[in-house]
């Protein structure tokens, strides 16, 4: 069944209104964002967050470097303490002996 002109016109009008309405809505949202300054605020927010992220990454790198250096120093100190104890034992030095416990009360 062929469609008559009235049906074609109604369908064309509906598509035009809906399509044009969607386009106008998108354009309205874009213009509202531009006029309210939201895009500039979003850019400032993104820039601020990127800068803060960079500061935190740098701080994390410094902390990791500091912790690695501290671990290195602790290991070196333990090694020196072990070497000193072994050298003392080789020389016949006994560790500090505690005096015997008292047999009577104070």
Note the pLDDT of residue 34. Answer: 65
Q: Comparing C-alpha atoms, which of 23, 16, 19 is closest to residue 31?
A: 23
Model pLDDT for residues 27-82, shown as the tens digit of each residue = 776 777 666 666 677 888 889 999 999 999 999 999 999 999 999 999 999 999 99
Model pLDDT, residue 64: 97
pTM score: 0.46
Q: Long-range contacts made by residues 38-41, C-beta under 8 angstroms, separation at least 24?
A: none
Give the pLDDT confidence score for residue 54 in this predicted structure: 97
Does 6 have pLDDT greater than 80?
Answer: no
């Amino acid at each position: 069944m062929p469609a008559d002109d009235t049906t074609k016109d109604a369908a064309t009008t509906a598509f035009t209104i809906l399509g044009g309405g969607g386009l106008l809505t998108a354009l309205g949202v874009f213009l509202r964002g531009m006029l309210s300054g939201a895009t500039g605020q979003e850019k400032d927010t993104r820039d601020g967050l990127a800068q803060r992220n960079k500061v935190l990454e740098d701080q994390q790198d410094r902390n990791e470097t500091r912790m690695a250096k501290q671990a290195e120093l602790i290991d070196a100190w333990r090694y020196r303490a072990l070497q000193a104890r072994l050298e003392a034992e080789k020389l016949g030095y006994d560790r500090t002996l505690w005096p015997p416990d008292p047999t009577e009360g104070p």
